[in-house]
Every structure is written in C-alpha cells, then in structure tokens.
C-alpha cells in the first residue's frame, strides 16, 4: 500500500470515526435518559463526517458513497437549525456549509463525461456492484428523509423507530457491498452502527412500555 492509498483510507477512517462517534454519543445519552434522544452534538458530528466521507468517495471513485452523502447532508443542517445551533454559527461558516455540496455537484456536472467514466465505467467496479452499493447508500440516506418528515410533523428533532429500522436494512446492504469491494472503512463503520441501531430500537420499545405502564 502506497502513501496515496494510506492518505485516502485515513480520510475514510476519520469520517467513520465521526459517524461512529455520533452514534456512540447518541447511544450513551439515550441509555442515560432511558429513551431515544437526538442531541445537537449528534448532528454536528454528522456534518463533519459527511464532509470527510464525501471527499473519501471522490478519491475512491465511489459514486454510491457520494450519492448517500448528497441526500442526507442538508437534513443534518435542518436538524441543527430546529435545535437552535444553526443560528449561533458565523455567517461565513453558514455560507460554506450551504454552498460546498452545491459547488461540488456543479463541478461534477461540468465534467460529466469524465464523471460517468470514473464512476460507471470503472474497470475495478462492475456496474451491477455500483447499482447494488448505490441502493444500499440510498436506503441508508433515506432514513434521514424519513426522520426529517417525521420531525417536521412534530416540529422537533427526533429519531423515531422507523429511522433505526431503515438504518438496519441499509446497513446490511452496505456491509455486503463493502465485503465484496474489500472496503475496511465501510465494514468497520457499518458493523459498529448495526449494533447501535438495534439497541436504539430496544430502548425505544422499553420507553414506550414504561410510559404505557405509568398511565395504567
């Protein structure tokens, strides 16, 4: 493995470190309160991890990773806004956070033929595997779309059961994809998350059972 590969994997592992950190933090907070929580720090770590994983996907010529980040990125920002964190950020930082994905997409559209060649005609990644990985990333990203719609109705940043169930399905597909691609970054990140997603479902169930018992 040369230095270029080490650099790319370092970015990928850092991204997964932030993503795993957000899940671990959320898990600890939820265990402490005995109900599923969506703390602001969860979303801050999400933004940082998304930035890094987006860069990792570009360096790895991995369309499925990039697709997943584009779908969920602005939902992270929305959750920061509804929790009152967004208003506290400096205007320049706000502009950078909003504009960066837009600029990145515009640059990819500008070089669309090269983009298609790198991502869909990559000899190292067959088309069926790109499609399979993209489906996993899309399902995984759609959990945040579901979370956004659910929270929008409640006018509160929440992580409902459906979020964790969708997470499990997407994570399972991504783990298979990562094993086929021999991608240690995705394997390690998803394996840890799989346990946390399952535990959040249990915490949510126990909380509802406890609340129902109190009302009797």
pLDDT interval class at 123 (50, 70, 90): low
Cβ atoms of 190 and 175 closer than 8 Å: yes
At 132-155, the pLDDT tens digits run: 887 887 888 889 999 999 999 999
What does the alpha-carbon distance between residue 56 and residue 59 come to, in Å, rounded to a whole number? 5
At 63-106, the pLDDT tens digits run: 667 766 777 888 999 999 999 899 898 999 899 888 877 776 77
Query: Distance of CA 81 to CAs 27, 43, 75, 85, Å?
Result: 22, 10, 10, 6
CA 59 to chain centre: 18
pLDDT score, position 60: 75
Other beta carbons less than 10 A from residue 93's beta carbon? 10
What does the alpha-carbon distance between residue 138 and residue 157 come to, in Å, rounded to a whole number? 21
What does the alpha-carbon distance between residue 23 and residue 199 come to, in Å, rounded to a whole number? 11
CA 32 to chain centre: 24
Every domain of the chain and the residues it spans: 3-215
Identify the helix (H) or strand (E) that includes residue 72.
Answer: helix 63-82
The yes-or-no verdict on residue 42 having pLDDT over 90 is yes
End-to-end CA distance of the chain: 62
- Whole-structure pTM over 0.85, yes or no? no
CA 48 to chain centre: 10
């Amino acid at each position: 493995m040369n230095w270029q590969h080490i650099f790319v994997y370092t970015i990928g592992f850092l991204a997964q470190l932030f993503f795993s950190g957000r899940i671990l933090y959320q898990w600890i907070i939820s265990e402490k309160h005995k109900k599923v929580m969506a703390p602001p720090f969860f979303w801050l770590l999400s933004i940082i991890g998304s930035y890094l994983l987006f860069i990792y996907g570009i360096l790895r010529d991995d369309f499925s990773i990039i697709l997943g980040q584009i779908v969920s990125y602005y939902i992270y920002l929305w959750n920061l806004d509804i929790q009152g964190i967004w208003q506290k950020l400096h205007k320049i930082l706000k502009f950078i956070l909003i504009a960066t994905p837009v600029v990145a997409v515009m640059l990819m559209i500008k070089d669309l033929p090269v983009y298609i060649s790198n991502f869909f005609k990559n000899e190292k990644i067959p088309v069926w595997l790109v499609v399979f990985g993209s489906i996993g990333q899309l399902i995984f990203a759609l959990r945040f779309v579901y979370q956004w719609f659910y929270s929008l109705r409640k006018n509160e940043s929440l992580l409902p059961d459906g979020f964790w169930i969708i997470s499990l399905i997407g994570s399972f597909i991504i783990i298979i994809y990562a094993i086929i691609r021999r991608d240690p970054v995705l394997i390690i990140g998803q394996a840890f998350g799989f346990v946390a997603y399952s535990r959040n479902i249990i915490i949510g169930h126990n909380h509802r059972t406890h609340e129902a018992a109190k009302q009797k």
